[in-house]
Structure 1
């Protein structure tokens, strides 16, 4: 252990570095320093020992007298005693007076604490200066310090960022330049040091008493209670890593009992406080049993976020804290804004955020797309925590049993702990490691009359990963057509099934199994599933810079003639993240209609983003296809013409009268379509509704919507068709603008119910969902139900902040502006006006003609 009386470790470090001729040291420099010490003293101090001295590794034992003497001799002192003696004279120059005992104790504590802080900073997975301070921890500790509680703890699984959180807390309250409580004594140590002391027979009380050499029988706490004028503040003991990894499990209860004695003995000394960081699995086993005693809760402050079932009181990072780390890591803010809500939720767990940052050492040049990163993060996490573990065989046995009990997820997410272990005592140590590593989580639902502990995977994506790996294991690492069909039949259509297929697809890509990839795409998956799989495939090969060649091998000439492109891209036409996928598809498709469909989606995507310049580029490509490649005899208006009309009206405020006349002739050209619409027809009908919208012609909008369902009857039967839902949203808006709030609300609620009932159909697209919220909020506004309108519009705004639907954001801002003005919320009103101005400045479209474009 580190002897806690070593007041001059930091001073020794500085002296060694001065002699070495460097102001700072990196882990790689320890090898050269070792050689320099050998040359100067003829004594060897190993590279590993030097890493412990400078805090790059945890020092689990005392620094030997040999090490300290050698380093002192390197700095031209006789030995370690001479080094300390010289510096004591330099610092004090005279015996310590009684009135300076608090300062003396503080100097000792600061020396040890600075060493611990340095060690934890050097061990941070993300460079410490790039980490984010967690406001929850500051608030938690602040409430604890101001309370009468004696002890508190940050309780969470491994990799949750507890140690770094404690470093930020220590600097914020006691060691930073603007620390709040500089007069307090903060003794920040690692559990290795405290554990070694306690196991040698010391108590924490005895150890504290020894720090000032008060003499036999004298007590530090009693001394400062009697000489309260000499006491400068509180005395904090922070112990990091009080868990089974730091201290052997059979000795942990001994340490806990001594810690408990110290905590309870401070009842009369509220200025002495203890802060721990501890893993939730250890808390459940060692600490939680004490909660049945009233004294435990009287002394221990567990905080407002304590989850009794999982024994966690430290929440994950907030989304803003995640973004702070990414910005500190030199990620482009524009890139971070494109991250999906789901991906940011994953990064809220510090360990996954750490791996993501490590995958992007040069974030500006080598950014790994989030769709690829998530799989790399999980793979690396499992590799480090499971496969590299000495007990990996036992862990894999437990996970196999877990998958069997859950039937690969078909029987839910939880299983009984008793069934999982089933009296196999040999599995228990590996099981405890799985809990400590946050691969498995226990939820204690026990009651007084019944023992009930459930176990689940820490995250659903771990269940998806292990399910896919289990299928591969059972099929000799080969993805056959039979395996793909088995997965398809075993799971219902859901996000879970898609993620399992993604893991299989990733394996096939890495193993270069082209036939296996083709098997995956040939089974009858839902279009939305094929879209997601194709997106992953295209992004992977684009990242590897060999996209076209590899994709051509998977989708040879003629493939998309047999398999319509609409099966891959029909569900989520506004998703700007699909742009890479669509561009990749353009190199593969052969049919003019497929090219037209993709180009129109790219045009609409740019329009929704208010990107006028990109709209121009897409229009030029649409013109080529319509003029040269596609037959349009069955249509009275060209898809390019009507798309150009929308663009020119929004950009310049002008309208082509010839095209406008054609647009209003639509009642004379209806066809009774008993079969699905062609791509050209769907584009024209989509654009017609948009034209009436931006022209503000609500009567024609209503007429068009009603006639569309009469002439295209199959739309009535396809409840979840995005085109159908968008037409209904337009009708709702038309009725609202004409003052028929009841009809508008009926249609809006219908769309909301469909989205809720069939939400699995929309797990890659959010546009229709957010659009319905905005329209429903507008309906509440017209009904003067302002509070409901504000809540719904603000919820929609939270979603829009994570997306790039500027046209819809602008509409929602305008609605919120009216609401805030009506409710006299001046601060919010001013903020909204600023946001509206920012959106308007970001586009060259004509401001008066930016309307709601709900495709």
Structure 2
């Protein structure tokens, strides 16, 4: 009886497909093939067995002799022995015929087509809906133009290496040239060990030639006609093999490379994970060998596969759903530019794909879903959780060490070997080896920050008996900062929501976050609470949670002028779902009205003013100044150009006779800052400065800190000094603001940064620092024009540029025409009069 031969078995698989009338096979076809075999042979080869045979299901063992005989009979042979003998005879016959490049191309094309089909069937998003990636064209263009024999496409798991490569191979096959592509995945390399053959010999066997033939002699023919031979191996990663097997595969690939590197027609292309490249690049590169590495970013995370660009996200969305009209916001896209996360989102929404539901919580939901399916469910789930906790246990948060020494985990790895390698294979963790001559340094770390921060959050909660309390907040404050702190905190908040610990949200005021981080967290909370509120019918505890006033500390934490942007409205509306006091409801509607002003949404402003007017006069006694009168004054001016003197009389009384005691609070900050801005309508800088001086004396003194309130007050004073011609004072304040930004960028929200840039432009005009004005004007103008979140600031600055054209000796006419067009267009769309901005005083002469 003939022993099992992987080479002949691959041939038999092709014969089965031909007999079944299939050019390629998909998982769904296995059921059909099972029926065909049963009908013809009266013997059954199950659908599951066929899926194992064709690589759609994992198989540890070779097919049984019964299966081999049945498949051979289906292909009109007497059995497996008969099939092998006839194939061997055919092989001998082929070796006596002349080999040529065209025949080689045909044989390689069959293998490549099979590999492509198998890989396409495994894509998370249907392959026909995926897109070509520009980076891979750029990579291969540089590789093929240079004097290189081999290249590597390296990136972490889930970056889309394989899909991008498939598109490139597809396009290459469609080109009418003499190039040959032999493409297979690392799964196929396991056949080397099952057959006991060398990769080079095995490759020749796949192409239909005997192992005695020399491939150099075969390929170095005149018939080649300048054609090149591309050997492409996808997924050369250590987790796919046992340690000794992977090293053997790598050695044989390096041998092939070394043997052919002097032949310019031979090109070797490998794809692998970044961690594999880090651990083995010293073996692969071999000193000064002609390897093209690509565009590696950093030493600790080499990758020449970029994440999706905004344009690629749009293109992919249209490919999936051509009817889509709305696209993802840029700030949210930063989380969805990861191909793996986009794939998760597609799986959840493939029936009616749209980006309308994407918000600041979505990426966390996707990660949770991935961890549920890949870690918490299935075989070895408890072991995997234990391994994850053990890895986190080895980290030193205080020293910013977020990896675990492999030596410290060696016993655990041996004991939980299956769980450990499962985590490696799904890309949840990775191994890194940075050993040097005198030190062994191998570590285990999480494959990306999302997995790391999730695991840290679960570890901290578990150590804190799963309670979201002050002890947990204190621990997070002590050990973390920046984006990592914010993300760990978000995971803990999600857990608190899911476990009914919502009362603990009052503790958020104890988190030490920068203003920008706090803004991010507030938007996240708004989206999270909104989603939870939408499922009230299923969550009785949440119903009770919203049937109460929002605590003062939490309310103040979520409230502030600095947070105003397009997404902040959702957070404010979420606050309204609580049973708030009249004072808090007035403040929320005041903030919503302010947001409408900044966005020049006059219809919404009218709605909020009507709501605010429905509160009784008594409700406004708690405020030092009436927010309703303040906003009404602003509305009348913007809409009709009317100056309501009643409110300004109230402001005059305030700064001549201020209250004896003014409580320092977030709500009072908001009221005073809005009032100070409204005072500028009068175009009397001294009046505004007098009001600000009263606030500094009786409310909050303004210092040199990066306090948000101080920032807005200094901004107002800077502009009023410019109007008065006190340019030196304005420059000093502008310098203080600029220095504060340089020292602590994270303290500035998008609104604050937009305002700061606007004042910089004004100071430059007034201080006559115009030497480079012609060069910078267009850049400034474009930055202002492209500002979509803050339309009021946009038209205010465009009007400033239009009023001060004379400040530049030769202003570019083209630029000013464009500025004028955008200004008038924006004002018209908002239903406002242009003259209310254009009639303001110009800069001091």
1:716 corresponds to 2:716 = no
Q: SS of the residue aligned with 1:111?
A: helix
Q: What is the aligned partner in structure 2 of residue 579 from structure 1?
A: 569
- Report the equivalent of 1:553: 544
Q: Name the structure 2 match of 1:48.
A: 48
Aligned twin of 1:768:
752
Q: Tell me, what secondary structure is at the counterpart of 2:166?
A: helix
Q: Spell out, residue by residue over 1:194-219, the C-alpha distance to the aligned partner (whole angstroms, 9 max, x if none).
A: 44247635445445655777789654
Give the alignment partner of residue 371 of structure 2, picking from 365, 378, 382: 382
- Unmatched tracts of structure 1, length 5 or more: 84-94
Whether 1:269 aligns to 2:269 is no
CA 642–481 in structure 1, closer or farther in 2 if over 3 Å, else same: closer
Q: Distance in 1 between matches of 2:334 and 2:704?
A: 33
User: Which structure 2 residues correspond to residues 201-350 of structure 1 after superposition, within 5 A?
Assistant: 201-207=196-202, 219-227=214-222, 229-231=223-225, 233-291=227-285, 293-294=286-287, 297-305=288-296, 307-330=298-321, 336-338=327-329, 340=331, 343-350=332-339
Alignment partner of 1:472 out of 439, 454, 461: 461
Higher mean C-alpha deviation, range 378-387 or range 137-146: 378-387
> Any idea what the Cα deviations from partners look like across 1:262-297, whole Å, max 9, x if unmatched?
111113321111111112333334443354x43xx4
What does 1:452-601 correspond to in 2, within 5 Å?
452-453=441-442, 456-477=445-466, 479=467, 481=469, 483-484=471-472, 487=475, 490=478, 496-511=484-499, 513=500, 516-521=501-506, 525-526=510-511, 531=522, 534-535=525-526, 537-544=528-535, 546=537, 550-557=541-548, 560=551, 565-570=555-560, 572-601=562-591
Instruction: Specify which of 721, 729, 749 is matched with residue 715 of structure 2.
Output: 729
Q: How far is 1:829 from its partner? A: 9.4
Please give the per-residue CA displacement for 1:777-814, whole angstroms capped at 9, x wherever unaligned: 5545652364999599679959977x733344566788
Partner-residue secondary structure (3-state), 1:149: coil
Q: Aligned in 2, Cα 1:75/1:220: closer, same or farther, shift over 3 Å?
A: closer
Q: Which residue is 1:162 aligned to? A: 161
- Provide the rounded CA distance (Å) in 2 between the counterparts of 1:393 and 1:709: 60
In 1: Cα distance, 2:814 partner to 2:241 partner = 53
Structure 1 residue 602 displacement after superposition:
0.9
- Aligned to 2:558, the other structure's residue is in SS state helix
Per the alignment, do residues 82 and 32 of structure 1 end up closer, same or farther by CA in structure 2, a change over 3 Å counting? Answer: same
**Aligned partners of 1:312 and 1:573: how far apart in 2?**
36
Distance between the aligned counterparts of 1:276 and 1:615, measured in 2?
A: 59
- Corresponding residue for residue 90 of structure 1: none
User: 2:394 touches 2:405 (CA, 8 Å); kept in 1?
Assistant: no
Cα contact 1:149–1:300 (8 A) shared by 2: yes
Deviation string 1:120-148 (CA, Å, 9 cap, x unpaired) is: 11111122233333222221112112222
Equivalent pair of 1:442/1:454 in contact (CA under 8 Å)? yes
In structure 1, the partner of 2:613 is 623
Residues in 2 aligned to 1:349 and 1:457: alpha-carbon distance in whole angstroms: 16
SS at match of 1:315: coil
Pair 1:642-2:630 in alignment: yes
Cα–Cα, structure 1 residues 221 and 679, in superposed 2: closer, same or farther, change >3 Å?
Answer: closer
> Deviation digits for residues 495-522 of structure 1, max 9, x if unmatched?
65554443333234333x3xx3213425
| Alignment of structure 1 residues 383-402 onto 2, 5 Å | 383-388=372-377, 395-402=384-391
- Please state how far the C-alpha of 1:766 moved relative to its aligned partner: 2.3
Matched, 1:122 2:117: no
Change in CA separation of 1:354 and 1:238 when aligned onto 2, cut-off 3 Å = same
Say whether 1:356 aligns with 2:341. Answer: no
Measured in 2, the distance between the counterparts of 1:828 and 1:193 equals 61
CA deviation vs aligned residue, 1:805-824 (integer Å, no higher than 9, x gap): 334456678899999x9999
Does the C-alpha gap of structure 1 residues 558 and 436 become closer, same or farther in structure 2, counting only changes over 3 Å? closer
* SS class of match (1:776): helix
779-788 vs 133-142, which moves further? 779-788
Q: CA deviation at 1:376?
A: 1.8
Q: How many correspondences in the alignment?
A: 815
Q: Which residue of 2 aligns with 1:91?
A: none
| 1:188 CA displacement | 1.3
2:672 to 669, 672, 685: 685
* Counterpart among 709, 730, 735 of residue 744 in structure 1: 730
Cα-Cα RMSD: 5.0
Under a length normalisation based on structure 2, what TM-score does the superposition of the two structures give? 0.80
Partner of residue 613, structure 1: 603
**1:410 match: secondary structure:** helix
Distance change (3 Å), C-alpha of 1:485 and 1:729: closer
CA offset digits 1:415-445 (Å, max 9, x no partner): 5626643776626956666555444456655
Q: 2 CA distance for matches of 1:734 and 1:797? A: 24
TM-superposed CA distance for 1:547, in Å, is: 9.5
> How far does residue 494 in structure 1 lie from its aligned partner after superposition?
6.1
Q: TM-score, normalised by structure 1?
A: 0.79
Q: Deviations over 1:527-583 (max 9, x none)?
A: 9768467535522313425499654512544554x6573243236441332323322
How many Å separate the matches in 1 of 2:313 and 2:406? Answer: 37
| Farther off after superposition, 534-543 or 348-357 | 534-543
CA contact (8 A) 2:326 2:355 kept: no
TM-fit CA distance, 1:168: 1.9
Aligned to 2:87: none
Whether the aligned pair in 2 keeps the contact of 1:209 and 1:220 (CA below 8 Å) is yes
The alignment partner of 1:714 has SS state of coil
How far apart in 1 are the matches of 2:163 and 2:801?
40
Separation in 2, partners of 1:9, 1:116? 13
Relative to structure 1, is the Cα distance of residues 471 and 136 closer, same or farther in structure 2, using a 3 angstrom cutoff? same
8 Å Cα contact 1:701-1:731 kept in structure 2: no
Residues 786 and 352 (structure 1), Cα distance of their counterparts in 2 relative to 1, 3 Å cut: farther
Is 1:602 matched with 2:611? no
Say yes or no: does 1:188 pair with 2:183: yes
Q: CA deviation at 1:677?
A: 5.7
